[in-house]
Structure 1
Amino acid sequence: MAVLGSTGSVGTSTLDVVAALPERLAIAGLSAHSKWELLAEQCRRFRPRVAVLTDAEAFQRADRSVFPRETELLCGDDAVCALASAPDVDVVLAAVVGAAGLAGTWAALEAGKTVALANKETLVVGGQQVMGLAARRGATVLPVDSEHSAIFQALTGYTANDVAKVVLTASGGPFRGRTAADLESVSVEQALCHPTWKMGPKITVDSATMMNKALEVIEARWLFGLDAGRIDVIVHPESIVHSFVEFVDGSVLAQLSPPDMRLPIQFALTHPARVPGPARKLDWKTLTGLTFCQPDRATFRGLDLGFEAAARGGTCGAVLNGANEAAVAAFLAREIGFLDIARCCRAVIDAHDYDPAPPLAGLLAADRWARQEVARWTRTRPRTARP
């Protein structure tokens, strides 16, 4: 297998799974953006044929002597695509954060590979095109996000026609129960303090704004062939129930496990087999209760943008994703406030030139435009001190 984004939180968890299952899984290649020291450490551990850095400056700084002699160190997106489509790769774990992950996933699907998809933005930006390509090439897309893995598991043996609704669970992030007034002065440090999951900064902020759930609604729409009206979200702070499927006969199936990404990763990599692995097991003796509540859409306004983009399709997903990535970056740089992330995304969605059936090039252009529009929005917004 190849792991794209091996130095991120999902990538490192994936390598834990590979290390635990050496009789089933072997690494042909790894890719990272700029963390060359960690990439080198991973290469010494797994001895891949190829390692790729996508950041040119990091590639120039990298000390070749700390990489294994049998590992060829390459640079750039073209090298990632070559790795993803290589003949000795059967499965590609796509864990690059953001729209940057689309190119490697596309190359893998073009080559007919099985893609274990942890990069939700790929389907948010180009879900119709990506799933269409997979169908044409005989490729397989298996979800790695815990929520979509739960739905996938519950749907085994069933089709979209059997489904009344799927319900994605959300932890609620660090600000569950807080009002919009409470969140006007949220600091970057507060937003990065997730109560349940340990993730990278962009995904952690998305959880705090609930934009991650908005993106997951769009992802579910394309993964499972469901219209937006059959997708819902519920807040579940314990993060034990990872999603529900309600069938047309009224039965509801859910998947439960501790919040440990190694389980959905392993399920995608070993599917359809279930084997012992490194993920934590649910301790029924200590489980005292499960709580659920409706999300506060008046405070976490990004959630409605996801349902809107899922319903409209076309360029909406690409614009929402591009705007959100740029807005989160601006928040992390303390250029805008926490609630400005959703405000900015709303403004960009409203201003964009909607195309209901864009080609892939049109989606990529919409993504670029959205990022530029966020920069303009940020420049023209009155500057105030940011916490």
Structure 2
Amino acid sequence: MRSPVSSSRAMRAEAGPRRISILGATGSVGTSTVDVVLQQRAAFEVEVVTAQSRADELAAIAIRLGAKLAVVADPDAHGALVAALSGSGIAAAAGPAAIIEAAARPVDLVVAAIVGAAGLAPTLAAIEAGADIALANKECLVCAGTLFNRRAAAVGVGVLPVDSEHDAIFQALEAENASAVDRITITASGGPFRTWTLEQMSRATLAQALKHPNWTMGRKITIDSATMMNKGLEIIEAHHLFDIESDRIDVLVHPQSVVHGFVAYTDGSVIAHMGAPDMRIPIAHCLAWPKRVAVATPRLDLALAGTLTFEKPDLERFPSLQLARRALESGNWATNILNAANEVAVQYFLAGEIDYLDIAATVESALDLATATVGGAEVGSIEAALTIDAEGRRLARETIARRGRLRAG
């Protein structure tokens, strides 16, 4: 096992504020990052903020942070962005190429919070430019983990994990004793369906699936929490972040969401990380690392929290965990297919076109079919990753269409 920041440039002494860029500033992680920066204005200097298309919202963020450049990926939103930034002195740009160029501007740290495969190229561009990465984009590791790590190591940058579970492991990991780690454990809330039967889950509505008991997140990640695919993806992330085998990564269901991760050492010691379920906590840790900054977040009161409980996940009711492990054992092509098929299935569920249990079934079918079409393919470039991603999406849509025809018949 290794620390993901062993070659980090952030370990070097810095004079003045840390220069950062925020990719995906209008999403849930992005807005939490903005809040942390606003609470510690003297500690950070913002170079770039980006968004997909929310021009007015992005412009407001850019102005509040004093960013030098704001970029929207959607070219149609460029005019609105220019208008919203008029008189501010902040430059505006638009288009996927502009996002990549903005990600490569010289800074100390890039917060990679663009959702989906669209975050791959900008994050790799930031690495090539020599910035440390505060990584909130799962796809960089799930779709192209080997390529991502190889480039980060070659350039000599560190990857700070923003996900609360991986940040917990990072904080509990003693870098000097990484070779003495026995196993790691990431926790899961269990989502809204933790105690539901399969029969009940077969009738689950979108509103029920979106009602997370602890966390406030975007719609896609909330559905992933309901299916526990988020934990499957986090197993894959942990493998790439910490260079640890799947069979040494455990998942425990912990409904209170107080303990976010454990590191168990070969002498029997177990170090756990605890905190309130608030994404600003791991974000603040990554932004300031290796230092810490004061941020107004909920403080954990164990007396008030009371009893903390843990249980093993039910793999029959939550098959996504096993699908993720299966994909991880097969290689990056399979984890790429897993992610792409899941994204498509979740989109269809959010649109009301498939049932809740169809999500995992669609992913499993896509994995089975992909063995014949892209099985064993190398993910040695962004282009290769995107090609496999497109195949996973095609197979998922084909599976959903076939199921629809069977039901109609």
Give TM class, smaller chain: over 0.9
| 2:391 pairs with 1:369 | yes
Closer, same or farther in 2 for the Cα pair 1:379/1:244, shift >3 Å?
same
How many aligned residue pairs are there? 384
1:82 to 84, 87, 101: 101
Question: Aligned equivalents of 1:374 and 1:148: distance in 2?
Answer: 29
SS at match of 1:175: coil
2:330 to 278, 296, 312: 312
Single out whichever of 140-149 and 29-38 deviates more from structure 2.
29-38
Instruction: Specify the alignment match of 1:42 in structure 2.
Output: 61
What residue identity is the alignment partner of 1:295?
Answer: P
| 2:52 pairs with 1:26 | no
Alignment of 1:163-174 (within 5 A): 163-174=181-192
Instruction: Specify the alignment match of 1:130 in structure 2.
Output: 148
Instruction: Specify the alignment match of 2:375 in structure 1.
Output: 354
| 2:235 pairs with 1:227 | no
Check the 8 A contact 1:95/1:101 in 2, yes or no. Answer: yes
Question: Aligned equivalents of 1:383 and 1:183: distance in 2?
Answer: 23
Alignment of 1:147-296 (within 5 A): 147-296=165-314
Question: Aligned equivalents of 1:68 and 1:174: distance in 2?
Answer: 47
Single out whichever of 62-71 and 322-331 deviates more from structure 2.
62-71
What residue identity is the alignment partner of 2:125?
Answer: A
Check the 8 A contact 2:276/2:298 in 1, yes or no. Answer: yes
RMSD: 1.6
What residue identity is the alignment partner of 2:100?
Answer: C
Closer, same or farther in 2 for the Cα pair 1:67/1:45, shift >3 Å?
farther
Check the 8 A contact 1:94/1:105 in 2, yes or no. Answer: yes
Closer, same or farther in 2 for the Cα pair 1:158/1:60, shift >3 Å?
same
Question: Aligned equivalents of 1:248 and 1:185: distance in 2?
Answer: 45
Check the 8 A contact 2:40/2:293 in 1, yes or no. Answer: no
Check the 8 A contact 1:101/1:121 in 2, yes or no. Answer: yes
Check the 8 A contact 1:326/1:371 in 2, yes or no. Answer: yes
**Residue 305 of structure 1: how far off its partner (Å):** 1.2
What residue identity is the alignment partner of 2:280?
Answer: R
Alignment of 1:112-131 (within 5 A): 112-131=130-149
Check the 8 A contact 2:188/2:251 in 1, yes or no. Answer: yes
Question: Aligned equivalents of 1:346 and 1:223: distance in 2?
Answer: 25
What residue identity is the alignment partner of 2:317?
Answer: T
Single out whichever of 135-144 and 59-68 deviates more from structure 2.
59-68
**Residue 117 of structure 1: how far off its partner (Å):** 0.3
Check the 8 A contact 1:172/1:208 in 2, yes or no. Answer: yes
Closer, same or farther in 2 for the Cα pair 1:275/1:69, shift >3 Å?
closer
Check the 8 A contact 2:139/2:339 in 1, yes or no. Answer: yes
* Percent identity for Structure 1 against Structure 2: 44
Question: Aligned equivalents of 1:68 and 1:354: distance in 2?
Answer: 53
Check the 8 A contact 2:378/2:384 in 1, yes or no. Answer: no
CA deviations over 1:134-168 (Å, ceiling 9, x no partner):
00001111000000000001113345421111111
List alignment gaps of at least 5 residues for structure 2.
1-19
List alignment gaps of at least 5 residues for structure 1.
none
Check the 8 A contact 2:63/2:88 in 1, yes or no. Answer: no
1:334 to 341, 352, 355: 352
SS at match of 2:272: strand
What residue identity is the alignment partner of 1:380?
Answer: R
**Residue 222 of structure 1: how far off its partner (Å):** 0.3
Closer, same or farther in 2 for the Cα pair 1:65/1:343, shift >3 Å?
closer
After TM superposition, the score normalised by the length of structure 2 is 0.91
Question: Aligned equivalents of 2:22 and 2:283: distance in 1?
Answer: 11
Instruction: Specify the alignment match of 1:8 in structure 2.
Output: 27
Instruction: Specify the alignment match of 2:341 in structure 1.
Output: 323
Question: Aligned equivalents of 1:128 and 1:160: distance in 2?
Answer: 20
SS at match of 1:135: helix
Question: Aligned equivalents of 1:307 and 1:67: distance in 2?
Answer: 50
What residue identity is the alignment partner of 1:354?
Answer: G
After TM superposition, the score normalised by the length of structure 1 is 0.96
Single out whichever of 366-375 and 142-151 deviates more from structure 2.
366-375
**Residue 170 of structure 1: how far off its partner (Å):** 0.3
| 2:403 pairs with 1:381 | yes
Question: Aligned equivalents of 1:4 and 1:75: distance in 2?
Answer: 13
Check the 8 A contact 1:160/1:224 in 2, yes or no. Answer: no
- After the TM superposition, list the runs of 4 or more consecutive aligned residues in structure 1 that deviate by more than 6 angstroms: none
Closer, same or farther in 2 for the Cα pair 1:119/1:330, shift >3 Å?
same
Single out whichever of 191-200 and 57-66 deviates more from structure 2.
57-66
Question: Aligned equivalents of 1:68 and 1:54: distance in 2?
Answer: 22
